[in-house]
Every structure is written in structure tokens, then in C-alpha cells.
Structure 1
Amino acid sequence: MLLLLMGIWWLYKFIRRRKEMKLKQKFFKRNGREIKKTKLFTLEELEKATDNFSKNRILGQGGQGMVYKGMLAKGRIVAIKKSVLVDESKVGEFINEVVILSQIKHRNVVELLGCCLETEVPLLVYEFIPNGNLFQQINDPNEEFPITWELRLRVAIEASSALSYLHSAASMPIYHRDIKSTNILLDEKYRAKVSDFGTSRSIAIDQTHLTTKVYGTFGYFDPEYFRSSQFTEKSDVYSFGVVLAELLTGQKPILSTNYEENKSLASYFQCAMKENRLFEILDARVLKEGGKEEILRIANLTKRCLKLNGKKRPTMNEVVCELSEIKGLSEDSTMQQNYGEIDFVDGKITNPFEIGSSVFGSLLSNSASF
């Protein structure tokens, strides 16, 4: 009897293991049809990396799945995205993200290191980004490293340059389709990294729009897209305009207000601009650290990004150029302030060229980190 029971148990284990192997092979074959140049991880590797996807390893949850912190065999820290729901649409989104990210190489786009095809919905493995996302930094600031005016401007330039690259410099134009502050991550040096490409789409070079079912995050999606179901590159511009409004005001994309028309930050911001109340709605740190001319120029750029008529919005390339000019203006005003502070020493005028060289060197070293 004992031998019979042991034989039945062994047979059960054998059949179960064989079924699991066949299932893995099925998923691998189905999921791998469009994935060619991506590093493949085994399920065993990723289970070890995350202590079997322990709750203690959870970094956060997005629209597509749960993100876990993991450590690979060689000691590299990574982020692993695992789908919460198992359905055909999620498989498509995860496969799409792999295909899109395999086409992109940009320092301000999160890097996909590889994936695992042995599960029903593929597991995606990314570089680990330690400082959370922009939304967290705006709404729950780090007292040791506050989100200064200078940092806000730099993050805006870096995120917009990534979008400009997607729209006009990638091998095929790519629409992100879900730009928001939670999808702009900040690395160890607080550099911006655009993430979450599950709903992104590549388009033909001569194509001007995508006609799709309306998808996006409330507070960020383009009203024109909502009306027409036609997503254009200017729809990404609108969403980025909301992010700029967040950086300027420190407010969330959806406001808690009694006024129905001002529920979205976009309409609240546009209303304040129209009524010349901009400086009443700005974040305290922006008011304290930003120059008036710089603030006004970014506010006007934000207003243009949020125009209801997409054709009147700037391109992402124009946004990058404008923000870079404003950054130059900000650096010039900082330089003038530094000169003003050191021109007089013990009541005597110092040699501006001697001091200027050290100040200019300092500014160059600071801007190099941008």
C-alpha cells in the first residue's frame, strides 16, 4: 500500500510538472511571436529575485500591473512588472510595451532590460528607478531633497525631450498616449525617465492620427481626442501641458472644488490665466525661487499646450526649444545674482573677471548635471 501510494504521488507530480512545462511552452510560443531582440529571463530567475513576488517587494501598482523590486543573481537591482489581471488585452499591452521599448534608446526613457514569456501575461524587467515618480515628489515632497524651481524646469525639459524624440526622431513616430506625472520617474540623480508604454502606438511616417477607442487618465486626456476618437501627437502635448500645470501650481490634475467647471486642473489653470490670477495659484516654492519672466513664459507655454484646438498647440519639439530658452534665462539671472552678491568685498569693488571665472565654472559644473 505504501509503495502504491508513493507511486501514485510520484505519477501525480510527474503529470503536474509535465502540464506546467507544456503550459510554459505554450505561453512562450504565443508571447514570443513579436519579441525578437529582447533578453529573456526564466520564471525561476524572477521568482528568486523577488522572493516569490513577496508583498514586501511591492514598489507600486499601475494601470497595467504590480511592480516589484528584485535583485538578479549578479546583484543588479531591477523593477519587475507583473499583470494583476489575466486577460487577452493585458497580454497585448505587455507585448506592445516590449515591442515599443525595443525600438527606443533615449536617456530619458526607462530602459527595458528584458522579459519572461513563461507566464500567461509576460513579466517585464526594467532598470530600477529609486526616487519614485513626479506626482509623489510634487504632492509629498522629500524634505531632504525638495523639488526646487531649478529641478522642476530640468524635469520638464528632460520629459519633453523624450516625447519629442518619440514623435519625431524614433525610427517610426510613437504616440505615448498616457502621459501623466505618475509616468515620469526620477532616478538617483533626479533625472526624468518616461515610463509605461503599454498603450503606446507606432505609426507610419505619413500618418497624422490614430482612430481608437478613447483611452487615458481622467484629468490628462485631450478633449479633442475625447470628442473625435482621433489621437494625434498634439494629444500627448495636451497631457504634457497638464504636467506643466502641476509643476507650476503644485496641484493634482483633478481638484477638490465646489465649482463644476474647475474640477480639472487644466480648466482651473486656463481660467486663472484668463483672469490674470496666475500668481495667486502658483506653488509657494515656485513663487519664491522662480523669476517672474521665467514663470510667465512657462505659464504661457502651458496655456498653449492646453488649447482645445489641437492645431493651435505647439509640437513637442517646440516645447523643448521654449523650455531650453527659459532655462538659459534662468541661468543668466542666477549668474547676475551671483555677481551682485560678490561685487563688493569689504566696501571695495572686486575684479569681476577674476570672480566671474569661478562663478561661471561653478555654473557650468551645475548645468553639466542637467
Structure 2
Amino acid sequence: MVALLVGGLVLAVLLVVGYALSRRGFFSRFSSSERFSIETAKAPQLENFPTVAGTTLLHCGDMIDDVALERISLGDDLIQFRIPLPEIKILRPLVSKATQSPNNKVVVYTAKFNDAVVVLKTLTTDGTSISPEAEAFVQTIRLHSTLNHPKLVAFLGVVWSTNAKKNIVGYGLLMEHLSRGDLARLLALDAAKSPTDRILQWRPHRPHHRSKASVLLDIASAIVYLHSFSPAILHRNIESSTILLADNWDAKLSGISANATKPSLLITAPEVLKGDAWTEKADVYSFGILMCELDLGHHPYMSTSSSTSALSTRQLATLVMADLLQPTFSPDCPPEIQDIATKCLAFDSKLRPTAVQMDFWLRKYRRTEEPAV
């Protein structure tokens, strides 16, 4: 019971400190190149977690104000998912391209809940009113609470509290932790190895090999699920950094947000670059870019050996928008995979397949062409 209480107190302090640091622009000091991918090593033990210097621990009773809670309540639909603060133990901050919020106000930690390592995304804000950032964060929590698919990173629960004395409100989203990190990190590690030693392969034939087609199928299945809603849930940011890998190498899609995110120009469909709205077919285009990246081991337009390596992101996007640039494939890429990717990357969005179609084609490829591992 004491350990649970201490865990809740540490979380309360970190919510307050996270708010203070975000107000001072602390996290804006880090460039994108300094943000690291999720580590595959075990998280440090609680006794090794550094204390927050100069911060007074507050009693949990001081953190809760009934009037304030009424104001910031996330609604009756989320009460069933609420987790008491003392049941969560903070382990360490976690920053990656997939978890770092564009507005730098969301702070992400690894934590322990029910003896399992989890991910806790927090946002702390002024308690006098609900800020646009907080409203968007709450809507994202609400969206995650409605989703349930084996190839989506799982929603585990929600935390919220107030510090009435300092007039601060804290929200927390508890998500599944996937120990092998993101796909972008694995591709970078594989790039440093000889082709036969790489983990991801189109035709796995060694015990340590894992199937590239399986990764694509996992993500295609998640997209089919999101697009099955009416209206469809659009991801808008399907790329290797938002794909996380479990112990058994299953791939799961993360990064789902209720508010429109600003994706990388290099995964954005040409019609969206021209100003059209993002649709399901734009998600399919991003999936086509992902197929090329998985094949090549890097983004198709970002290779140092390609003719486009000296161009800026905006210049590359201009070429894509004018239909003057198309990704290439490696010699090892199966023709069936090239065909599916080419259809997903069609310049005319009307010619692109639906998520269901691309999922069907990938399943057909797995059944008929890829040998059993």
C-alpha cells in the first residue's frame, strides 16, 4: 500500500513539473535528431529513478478538489476506465518521434501498472479553463477508449486529477508498451548489417529472420479496422516511427489522434499537398510509401546515394505534387509487393485501392508466395 501511495505521489509531482517545463519551452530545446527511439533494454528499477529536486511532494488528498474535478471530468463514458493515481508507478521519461507531441506539451513516461510496463502520456494545463491542447488531448483519450483491435497499440485506461492550490489540471492516457521499439529504429539497425543478417526479410529462411510481409499485413489490418468506422477514422501519419513491435515481432499501429495532425510532407499524398482534404485514399498512399521504406530499409526519397538526396523536403514534395517523382524498389522486392505498392501510390487518388483491397492482396501474397518460416 505504501509503494502504491508513493507511486501516485511521484506521478503527481511529474505532472506538475511537466507543466512547468512545457511553460518554459524546455522541450523545444531538443531537435528532432536528438529525440531517441524507444529503447529495447529493460526499464530501470524504481529505486534507480531520480527524484525531482526542489519539489515538495503533495499528499494525494491535496491533489483532488471536488469542484475542480467536476469541471475537468472526462465524462461518464470514461469513468469506467479511470485508474487511481497510486496504482501507477513512474519509471522514466520516454521521448521518441512517435511519442513527442508537436506542441511539446504532452510528456510521455514508461510506468508500471498491474506489474506490467506501460506507457503513460500526460498533459498538464491551467485549471481555470480547458485549453485547446487539453481539449484535443481529452478527445484523443475518448477516441482510444472506443478502439479495440489486436494490431493497434492497446488503450489501458485514463488518469486525471487537479492540484487545487496551484490551479493545475493533469490528464493521463495509459497505453500498451511494446518492448522492441519502433520500426524506424529496427530498419536503421538492419541497415548496418549485411543483407543476410538483417532481421526483416521478404523471404525469411533463418531462425532470426522476420517477415516484412507480416509487418505490412499487421498494419494493413489496423487500417482496415480504422476505415471501417462511419465516418472513417483517418490516421494521417502512417510511417515507420508510428509502428511499434512486440516481443513476438507483431507490428502494431500507434499515433492515432482525434485532431488532425500535421504529417511529414514525404508521406503526404499529392492531392493533399495541393490543398485537398485528407481521405482514406491519402492513408493508402502513406501505406504505399511505408511499403517502399520497408523494402529499401529507408525512406525512398532519403537515400544518400539517390539523385534526390540533395533536395530539401519541400523540393521533394513539389516533385511529388507534380507527378515527377515516384519511389523505386530494391532488386529483392517481390513483383507482387511492387505491384501493390505502385497501386497504393497512384497519382490519381481514385485509382488507389481501398484498405480492404490492399489487405486482401497482401494476404494472397502470403498464402501463395512466401514460404513458411
Q: TM-score, normalised by structure 2?
A: 0.66
Identity rate, percent:
21
Q: Does 1:112 align with 2:151?
A: no
Q: Does 1:232 align with 2:279?
A: yes
Q: Secondary structure of the residue that 1:179 maps to in structure 2?
A: coil
Give 2:362's aligned residue.
323
CA distance in 1, matches of 2:152, 2:181: 14
Asked whether the 8 Å contact 1:219–1:265 carries over to 2, the reply is: no
Asked whether the 8 Å contact 1:245–1:265 carries over to 2, the reply is: no
Give 1:241's aligned residue.
288
Give 1:313's aligned residue.
352
CA distance in 2, matches of 1:244, 1:109: 18
1:96-111 equivalence runs, <5 A: 96-111=139-154
Q: Secondary structure of the residue that 2:200 maps to in structure 1?
A: coil
Query: Deviation string for 1:235-261 (max 9, x for gaps)?
Result: 111111111110111123652512469
Give 2:115's aligned residue.
75
Q: Secondary structure of the residue that 1:228 maps to in structure 2?
A: coil
CA distance in 2, matches of 1:84, 1:139: 34
Deviation, 1:60, is 3.3
Query: Deviation string for 1:327-352 (max 9, x for gaps)?
Result: 12323xx3xxxxxxxxxxxxxxxxxx
Q: Secondary structure of the residue that 2:367 maps to in structure 1?
A: helix
Give 2:15's aligned residue.
none
CA distance in 1, matches of 2:61, 2:149: 42
Asked whether the 8 Å contact 2:95–2:108 carries over to 1, the reply is: yes
CA distance in 1, matches of 2:319, 2:110: 34
Q: Secondary structure of the residue that 1:230 maps to in structure 2?
A: coil
CA distance in 2, matches of 1:85, 1:26: 13
Q: 1:89 to 1:179 in 2, by over 3 A?
A: farther
Give 1:139's aligned residue.
188
Q: Could you say which structure has the higher helix fraction?
A: 1
Give 1:258's aligned residue.
310
Q: Does 1:125 align with 2:169?
A: no
Query: Structure 1 stretch 178-187 or stretch 78-87: which is displaced more?
Result: 78-87
CA distance in 2, matches of 1:254, 1:272: 9
Deviation, 1:69, is 1.6
Deviation, 1:84, is 8.2
Larger radius of gyration: 1
Q: Does 1:183 align with 2:232?
A: no
CA distance in 1, matches of 2:338, 2:270: 20
CA distance in 2, matches of 1:82, 1:253: 34
Aligned mate of 1:43, from 70, 73, 85: 85
Q: Secondary structure of the residue that 2:83 maps to in structure 1?
A: coil
Deviation, 1:308, is 2.4
CA distance in 2, matches of 1:91, 1:31: 12
For structure 1, the 5+ residue unaligned runs are 1-12, 201-211, 335-362
Query: Structure 1 stretch 221-230 or stretch 132-141: which is displaced more?
Result: 221-230
1:1-370 equivalence runs, <5 A: 20-22=63-65, 26=68, 29-33=71-75, 35-36=77-78, 38-46=80-88, 49-51=89-91, 54-55=92-93, 58=94, 60=96, 62-64=99-101, 65-72=106-113, 74-83=114-123, 88-118=131-161, 120-141=169-190, 146-150=199-203, 151-168=211-228, 170=229, 173-199=232-258, 215-252=262-299, 255=302, 257-259=309-311, 263=316, 267=320, 278=328, 281-282=329-330, 287=332, 295-331=334-370, 334=371, 363=372, 366=373
Cα RMSD after superposing both structures: 3.5
Deviation, 1:34, is 6.8
Q: How many residues get paired?
A: 285
CA distance in 2, matches of 1:69, 1:106: 22
CA distance in 2, matches of 1:301, 1:171: 26
Query: Deviation string for 1:252-300 (max 9, x for gaps)?
Result: 3652512469846995xx87869xxx5xx52xxx72xx5xxxx222112
Q: 1:186 to 1:42 in 2, by over 3 A?
A: same
Asked whether the 8 Å contact 1:60–1:68 carries over to 2, the reply is: no
Q: 1:152 to 1:28 in 2, by over 3 A?
A: farther
Asked whether the 8 Å contact 2:289–2:341 carries over to 1, the reply is: yes
Asked whether the 8 Å contact 2:64–2:161 carries over to 1, the reply is: no
Deviation, 1:114, is 0.2
